[in-house]
Structure 1
Amino acid sequence: MFCDKAIELIRELQRMSDGQLPAFNEDGLRQVLQEMEALYEQNQTDVNEAKGGGRADLIPSVKLRHCCLLRNKRCLTAYLYDRLLRIRALRWEYGSVLPANIRFHMCAEELQWFGQYKKSLASFMRSLGGGGGLDITQDMKPPKSLYIEVRCLKDHGELEVDDGTVILLKKNSQHFLPRWKCEHLIRQGVLEHIMS
């Protein structure tokens, strides 16, 4: 039956609806493309015969095969686009280095696309906020509170908070500070977030 292999590719993605990435089905993709090539060649033959021999009875068959070609094309496009959306989501979930078991399920072109997306995202983040950039992949969910408890890992000196209060950051001292005020100090290794 026409288009069965293309529909099977879509069903394969639906079975993995939890956002996981199934293995790239190169064989299924190749079979759909071969079917499309055969449909196209048969249409070319029938169109030439209908024009030259005046055979109008071939037109419905040509239209049917043309609709099958369009459906296969839509299914292949949907398959590839859905995979790219899942790969893009993996960058936000896992970071710039994907686990080996996920990379194993990707084809060479998808790995190349992931590398380009990773570079584009890094370039965009560098262009945001000052010299060091801004990592927009952190804190994908809003924080539960605006203040966090931190421990000072080394002497750092004074830190002024919003209300004008100056806090002395001495080694092993603990403080309850606004999250945004101490995130850069946590990344620098000056402070450590104490999980309650």
Structure 2
Amino acid sequence: MSWACPAPVQSWLFPLPVRVCAAGARPPVLGRVPEGRGRCRPCLGQGSEAKAGRTDLIFLIRFRHCCLLRNQRCILAYLYDRLLRIRALRWEYGSVLPNTIQFHMSAEEVEWFSRYKKSLATYMRSVGGEEGLDLTQDIKPPKSLYIEVRCLRDYGEFEIDDGTTVLLKKNSQHFLPRWKCEQLIRQGVLEHILS
């Protein structure tokens, strides 16, 4: 996935939509805003003037309210799209995100990613018997069970199912089981060598 994550969401700019999107709940209808908070100076007295009989302001108040609702819908759509992309990152990179991607995420998004990661891990443990079922493996059906890989950076010792350990050093090549390598390929430690 070649998604360049934009700058982190500044939750102080629109705290209600960030809290709503993080909680997964529906947003409440914008209600009465306390005097002096969240209103522009010329609009502060319009509510009381409309109650006093200035009916020409009712259209302006309704229009402003519709604009606020539209802006809220746009912000929620943007935040929901970011959450979908963050969810896709879990499937692409695994449970550990690269620092370059985490740098572009807000604290709320990192927390949401962590909760999604834990929820997915709990589900995978509950399915498939004692060992569980790893749904992140074999996203594409494999052509062979073993693949040839090249190590892109020093990783250290890597243990295979039969108990043997392989030392993964930069530029070394190995013939390893595909399902053991996929996570390291996604993390950028290994590279699949196509003959």
Q: TM-score, normalised by structure 2?
A: 0.60
Identical aligned residues as a percent: 53
Q: Is the 8 A contact 2:83 2:109 kept in 1?
A: yes
Q: CA separation of 1:63/1:40 partners in 2, compared to 1, >3 Å: closer, same or farther? A: farther
Contact 2:124–2:135 (8 Å) recurs in 1: yes
SS at match of 1:117: helix
Q: Is the 8 A contact 2:9 2:106 kept in 1?
A: no
Contact 1:32 1:72 in 2 (8 A): no
Quick one: distance in 2 between partners of 1:72 and 1:40?
20
Please say which structure displays the higher CA radius of gyration. Answer: 1
Which structure 1 residue ranges, 5 or more long, are not aligned?
1-16, 151-185
What is the count of residue pairs matched by the alignment?
Answer: 138
Moved segments of 4+, more than 6 Å: none
How far apart, CA to CA, are the structure 1 residues paired with 2:57 and 2:76?
A: 29
The alpha carbon displacement at 1:62 in A equals 0.7
- Cα distance in 2 for residues equivalent to 1:70 and 1:40: 20
Matches of 1:40 and 1:140, distance apart in 2: 55
Tell me, in whole angstroms, the C-alpha distance in 1 between the residues paired with 2:129 and 2:41.
55
TM-score of the two chains, using structure 1 as the length reference = 0.59
RMSD: 3.3
1:102 aligns to what SS in structure 2?
A: helix
Q: Which residue of 2 aligns with 1:107?
A: 106
Q: Give the CA deviation at 1:135.
A: 0.3
Paired residues of 1:39 and 1:65 also in contact (CA < 8 A): no
Q: Shift in Å at residue 39 of structure 1?
A: 5.7
Counterpart position of 1:133: 132
Q: Within the alignment, does 1:19 sit opposite 2:3 as a pair?
A: yes
Superposed CA offset, 1:79-132 (max 9, x none): 211111111110000000000011111111111111111100000000011101
Query: Against the structure 1 CA distance between its residues 104 and 128, is the aligned structure 2 distance closer, same or farther, given a 3 Å change threshold?
Result: same
TM-aligned CA deviation for residue 48 of structure 1: 2.1
Structure 1 residue 30 corresponds to structure 2 residue 13: yes
